[in-house]
């Protein structure tokens, strides 16, 4: 039997009902879409390490524990907490979970058009350029968040044209976050400069195997080279080339873990021209050479299969791993 484990001080009926609803929708580990655009549910039932490129989103950790590592941010997530990630970033998550105590997460990918509309409606005249300069934040979930999310998930039971409209609960959720201190990041994300930057990052991720230059990315964002480099690093704390290198290394690791590629093949597949450079940078990033790190991960860290989030032409090998 799967148990709902939440500390007594957050065992409000709304959080209990939301967890029950999620468990009904997710009887087994995996990723599940919902009837609401941009909203998905995720369940893990075992300890594992997950590496992926995350999109701008609000992550609601309803139950369970995990250690999140981004380039510039580390956080232990706990039950009934939320995490807002602004930039599209490579992330490593170390998850603690079991069948009796699963990790349950709701992921709301940011709808930028809706976010801008809500920001205009709720604008207090605050200049986005004066807001705190951060792009990842977290906090504790409250009763209102649980109620709104429960109402959104209940739309999974609806059929027909009602689901083609923007749910009012989604507007309510964005509006509610805008009033919180952590909502400043959403206001920053609704700005034009951010939209240009995130577009260029999406564009780069679709071409991560190419030999892109910072000038290529700046041109795509319609910014000067100096301005683009400054804004990019402000959002990600990485230079554009450091970001691309991180993405390539993480994708190479995934090709070796789940697609049966050798280090030499993975090196070429992600755009490295030099095997020695790839091995050197892989060891610096993952603390071990490719073959040793992959063997260690398979033996001790129970890797969980993740579909490649970037464009690729490979099919995964049949493996005995949970598909998340």
Does the pLDDT at position 316 exceed 60?
no
Strand, helix or coil for residue 282: helix
What is the pLDDT at residue 14? 85
Q: Could you read off the pLDDT of 100-110 as tens digits, one per residue?
A: 999 999 999 99
Q: Looking at residue 199, what is its pLDDT?
A: 85
pLDDT band of residue 307 (cuts 50, 70, 90) is low
pLDDT of residue 72: 64
Which band of pLDDT confidence, cut at 50, 70 and 90, is reported for residue 291?
A: very high
Handedness of CA 208, 210, 211, 212 (dihedral sign): negative
Higher pLDDT, 8 or 17: 17
Reported as a pLDDT band with limits 50, 70 and 90, residue 309 is low
Structure confidence at residue 266 (pLDDT): 93
* Cβ proximity of 238 and 71 under 8 Å: yes
Sign of CA dihedral 116, 171, 234, 228: negative
Average pLDDT over every residue of 131-152: 85
Contacting residues for 29 by C-beta, under 8 A, at least 6 apart: 43, 44, 45, 46, 102, 322, 324
pLDDT above 90: percentage of residues in the chain? 30
pLDDT exceeds 50 at position 4: no
Query: What is the reported pLDDT for 145?
Result: 94
Task: Evaluate if residue 313 carries a pLDDT over 60.
Answer: no
Q: How far apart are CA 143 and CA 43, in angstroms?
A: 22
Question: Model confidence at 257, in pLDDT bands (50, 70, 90)?
Answer: confident
Q: Which residues contact 49 (CB under 8 A, 6 or more apart)?
A: 92, 93, 94, 95, 297, 301, 302, 303, 304
* Cα(217)–Cα(37) distance, integer angstroms: 29
Q: Which fold has domain 242-300?
A: Arc Repressor Mutant, subunit A (1.10.10)
Rounded average pLDDT over 62-89? 85
Instruction: Give the three-state DSSP class for 96.
Output: strand
Residues β-bridged to residue 136:
85
For 202-240, the pLDDT digits (tens) are: 888 888 888 899 999 999 999 999 999 988 888 877 899
**Domain extents in the chain:** 1-188, 192-233, 242-300
Confidence of residue 9 (pLDDT cuts 50, 70, 90): very low
Lowest model confidence (mean pLDDT) among 4-13, 84-93, 229-238: 4-13
Spatial separation of the C-alpha atoms in residues 287 and 122, rounded to whole Å = 47
Both tokens assigned to 160: 């027909």
Out of 3.40.50.300, 2.60.120.810, 2.60.120.10, 3.30.1330.60, the CATH code matching 1-188 is: 2.60.120.810
């Amino acid at each position: 039997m799967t148990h709902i484990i939440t500390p007594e001080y957050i065992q409000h009926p709304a959080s209990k009902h939301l967890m029950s609803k999620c468990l009904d929708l997710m009887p087994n580990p995996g990723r599940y879409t919902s009837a609401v655009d941009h909203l998905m549910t995720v369940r893990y039932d075992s300890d594992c390490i997950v590496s992926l490129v995350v999109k701008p989103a609000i992550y609601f950790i309803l139950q369970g524990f995990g250690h999140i590592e981004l380039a510039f941010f580390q956080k232990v997530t706990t039950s009934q907490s939320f995490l807002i990630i602004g930039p599209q970033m490579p992330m490593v998550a170390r998850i603690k979970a079991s069948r009796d105590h699963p990790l349950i997460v709701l992921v709301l990918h940011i709808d930028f058009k809706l976010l801008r509309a809500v920001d205009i409606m709720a604008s207090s005249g605050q200049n986005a350029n004066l807001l705190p300069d951060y792009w990842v934040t977290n906090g504790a979930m409250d009763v209102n968040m649980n109620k709104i999310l429960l109402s959104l998930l209940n739309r999974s039971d609806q059929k027909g044209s009602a689901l083609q409209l923007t749910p009012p609960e989604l507007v309510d959720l964005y509006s509610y976050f805008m009033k919180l201190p952590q909502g400043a990041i959403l206001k920053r994300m609704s700005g034009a400069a951010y939209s240009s930057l995130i577009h260029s990052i999406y564009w780069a991720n679709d071409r991560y195997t190419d030999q892109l230059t910072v000038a290529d990315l700046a041109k795509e964002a319609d910014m000067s080279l100096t301005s683009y480099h400054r804004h990019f690093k402000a959002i990600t704390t990485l230079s554009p080339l450091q970001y691309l290198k991180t993405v390539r290394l993480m994708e190479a690791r995934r090709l070796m873990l789940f697609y049966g590629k050798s280090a030499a093949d993975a090196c070429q597949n992600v755009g490295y021209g030099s095997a020695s450079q790839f091995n050197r940078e892989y060891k610096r990033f993952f603390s071990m050479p490719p073959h040793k790190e992959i063997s260690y991960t398979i033996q001790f860290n129970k890797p969980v299969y993740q579909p490649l989030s970037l464009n690729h032409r490979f099919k995964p090998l049949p493996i005995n791993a949970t598909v998340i």
